[in-house]
Amino acid sequence: MSIKEQSIKKEYSQYRWQTNSDEIFTEEMKLFTLNAKDTTYALAALESGHLAHVYYGKHIEDDDLSYLIRLGENPYTPKVNKRDMGTFMDTTPFEYPCHGIGDYREPCFMIMDEDGMSSCDLRYVSHKIYKGKPQIVQPDIVTLPATFADENEAETLEITCVDKHSGIEAVLIYTAFNDLDVITRSVRLVNKGERAVNIRRVMSMGIDFDSDQYDFITLNGSWARERIMERSPLHHGKQGIDSVKGESSHQNNPFIALVSHNADEDMGEAYGFNLVYSGNFFAQAEVTQHKKTRVVMGINHFDFNWLLEPGEVFAAPEAVMVYSSQGIGNMSRTFHDLYRQHLIRGEYKDKRRPILINNWEATYFNFDTDKLISIAKQASELGIEMLVMDDGWFGHRDSDNSSLGDWFVYESKIKGGLKYLVDEVNKLGMKFGIWFEPEMISPDSELFKKHPEWAIQIQGMDMTQSREQYVLDYSNKEVRDCIYGMMKKILDSANIEYIKWDMNRQLTEVGSTTLPANRQRELWHRYVLGVYDVMNRLTTDYPHILLENCSGGGARFDAGMLYYSPQIWTSDDTDAIERLKIQHGTSICYPASAMGAHVSDCPNHTVGRSTPFATRGHVAMVGTFGYELDVTRIPENDRNMIPAQVEEFKKYNPLIRTGDQYRIGNVFEDNMWDAWMFVAKDKSEALFTFVQVLGRPNYRSRRIKLKGLDPDAKYLSSATGEVHSGSALMNAGINVSVHGDFTSTIISFTRI
Ligand code: DGJ
């Protein structure tokens, strides 16, 4: 059984340093022990109803970890030591701390009632344990994205707590996965009181670690530099990341990890936390006065408020927690397995994605039917399987200054109409994909002329433009219905098999023309729920369409989006060398099967660097492979390499998509090279990729140790034709020889 509940009665002697008295008291508590594969997580509902955190880490066989609770140690004695309740509140490790009752560390929960009071005190009242995993439902709006598991795969504990003063009930939901080191958490609030309550803050999880001896890992960046991994030792006080932009953002990804100081890819402890959410988030580690660490993660409370009327429900998104006792690499592989098996859905979940050619970097806005057909013609001859028509096919859009919201075909550009174009592409044996930016509205659009009130805005304030566009108010169902209706017409008009859903600006003047004043601060979250609603309709009505998310590159590369789209455009930076860092950072939490990666033209449009075509291919292969160039105009030598590249991708994609990823090199630490491997789950084959960033005179060949193989098996190397044991390949290594800057090689290993 993976979740166990015990009633425990313990005797403690109450240490009172003032009197030295040894008074004995008994404490009855409920101890909950969750086991997920090799992980144990324990918490206790004390007699007082406080929920204490007991343990999180490597699997422990012992049934009873209640000795870890420091009851009896002054001042951890809520039952008998009322005079020190304040100290108890500020020092006890808690599961879901509230604001205003003596715990001055970062709270998980805060309200404001009709009297303007913000303190609250959630205490245990009941619990239930059951097999499987519940959905997270925000009534009347949408089911939130979340990992899923059936009755044989996971078990769930729901602990119901109540704040007597306000009548708010908080159900803390924990799910432990049987075969993965994963525990998920979320919170459901119900207003059981008689008066409305404002929810000012509702984190999805909180944990109090008993130590501060960890490094803090985050994935940060900016446009074209997303999810660059950063690692630094925890220090006293608060360190954290967030988004206030209305999306998960280029700047910070909703992922953090705490790892032991000695942790590397292969050893040490790692705790990873990822929020399954695509809007404003908050994630923080706080080292407190006694050198303990509190971690919290959830929707960003900044500028957030949610009015909960009596009887209403609020569902907080899911936080995923992964524990690894075998380093950061193992933590990543657990996230990858979880997301590939229990988050990503749809027909392409376990399928190779079509090799696409996207016309964005090839033509930008300067294309028409003939140009697209000429690209498709050449591409089809080279083995490319799908043409994606990017931005510029609708309204009267010839640059980024118009037409968003006018989702009808720009007939003078798409001459002959969309169906004609799609049919022509299909005749070449290729699929057809199309770009939308459904959340946006251009001031220069028919939609804006008709419905200026549909843009997010504060009446009487100037509206800030970004890329000459505004954001639609997706909290308004009428807006969602209208946009989705237009998209449907397009999708029903031709054989469209792929959609790129883009989002190219962040939110400003966050106000809605339809929400009442006391619900305006809900807009940040209602916007995200509205986006989920439309994605939900789209994936339900068009299960055959492959959806790829995108946000000005990779500003919404998050687990929320993966629930709808099995792949996400990783970054607008398509330079192979820049991508080493971006893809390395992304792989810390997200699987290769989800990373949109294309071979693009040189000099690279973002950084101006020229790299060999082969290297661009090797780097793009670690994702959903495709091309982003004018295939009719690139150098002939490069073009001639495409058929072989396509075959190589087809050959290795099953392994890359489903295998275990091992990071070997680290461009963050060594500018000279990077390397990684994918190993089949049954260890029968492996693919090794090496990229030399800069050549060095005496670095003609490097000895590199492989990872993840079966030490006792023999493997045939595609580079040398020689056979070596897994043990030799992993302990002694292979000699890798490439020459020149930005060069690369791939080597496959087959078990014989
Ligand atoms: C941003 C995306 O990341 C690009 O790939 C492209 O689709 C442009 N938007 C189009 O406007």
| The ligand 1 atom nearest the CA atom of 435 | 7
Q: Is 574 in the pocket of ligand 1 (CB under 6 A)?
A: no
Residue labelled with tokens 């949109």: 596
In this structure, the residue with its CA closest to atom 10 of ligand 1 is 391
Q: What is the Cα–Cα distance from 395 to 695, expressed in whole angstroms?
A: 49
Q: Is 254 in the pocket of ligand 1 (CB under 6 A)?
A: no
Q: Is 97 in the pocket of ligand 1 (CB under 6 A)?
A: no
Q: Which of 498, 499, 550 to mutate to test the pocket of ligand 1 (most atoms within 8 A of CB)?
A: 550
Give the start-end residues of each E strand in 513-609.
546-549, 567-569, 595-600
The pair of three-digit structure tokens given for residue 572, joined into one six-digit string: 């607008």
Q: What is the Cα–Cα distance from 148 to 144, expressed in whole angstroms?
A: 11
Q: What is the Cα–Cα distance from 445 to 652, expressed in whole angstroms?
A: 45
Please tell me what DSSP assigns to residue 445.
S
Q: Is 392 in the pocket of ligand 1 (CB under 6 A)?
A: no
| Backbone angles phi and psi of 27, in degrees to 5 | -135, 130
Active-site positions? 502, 572
In this structure, the residue with its CA closest to atom 11 of ligand 1 is 391
Ligand 1 mean position to 538 CA, how many Å?
Answer: 20
Q: Is 298 in the pocket of ligand 1 (CB under 6 A)?
A: no
* pLDDT beneath 70, residues of the chain: 1, 15-22, 698-699
pLDDT value of residue 257? 98
pLDDT value of residue 270? 98
Q: Which of 222, 398, 439, 502 to mutate to test the pocket of ligand 1 (most atoms within 8 A of CB)?
A: 502
pLDDT value of residue 701? 86
Please tell me what DSSP assigns to residue 637.
H
Q: Is 569 in the pocket of ligand 1 (CB under 6 A)?
A: yes
Reference 89, options 109, 104, 68; nearest CA is 104
**What is the reported pTM?**
0.98
| The ligand 1 atom nearest the CA atom of 553 | 3
Q: Compute how many other C-beta atoms are within 10 angstroms of the C-beta atom of residue 310.
A: 13
Contact 527, 279 (CB under 8 A): yes
Omega before residue 75 within 30° of 0, cis: yes
H/E element holding 114? none
Q: What is the Cα–Cα distance from 310 to 172, expressed in whole angstroms?
A: 19
Cα-based distances in Å from 223 to 551, 568, 626, 686: 10, 15, 21, 33
Q: Which domains does the chain have, with CATH numbers?
A: 3-342 (2.70.98.60), 356-658 (3.20.20.70), 673-751 (2.60.40.1180)
Q: Is 601 in the pocket of ligand 1 (CB under 6 A)?
A: no
In this structure, the residue with its CA closest to atom 9 of ligand 1 is 552
Beta bridge partners of 274: 255, 320
Q: Which of 572, 598, 624 to mutate to test the pocket of ligand 1 (most atoms within 8 A of CB)?
A: 572
Ligand 1 mean position to 552 CA, how many Å?
Answer: 6
| Residue range 136-173, pLDDT digits in tens | 999 999 999 999 999 999 999 999 999 999 999 999 99
pLDDT value of residue 305? 98
| The ligand 1 atom nearest the CA atom of 572 | 3
| Residue range 515-571, pLDDT digits in tens | 999 999 999 999 999 999 999 999 999 999 999 999 999 999 999 999 999 999 999
Ligand 1 mean position to 706 CA, how many Å?
Answer: 37
Q: Is 442 in the pocket of ligand 1 (CB under 6 A)?
A: no
Ligand 1 mean position to 5 CA, how many Å?
Answer: 51
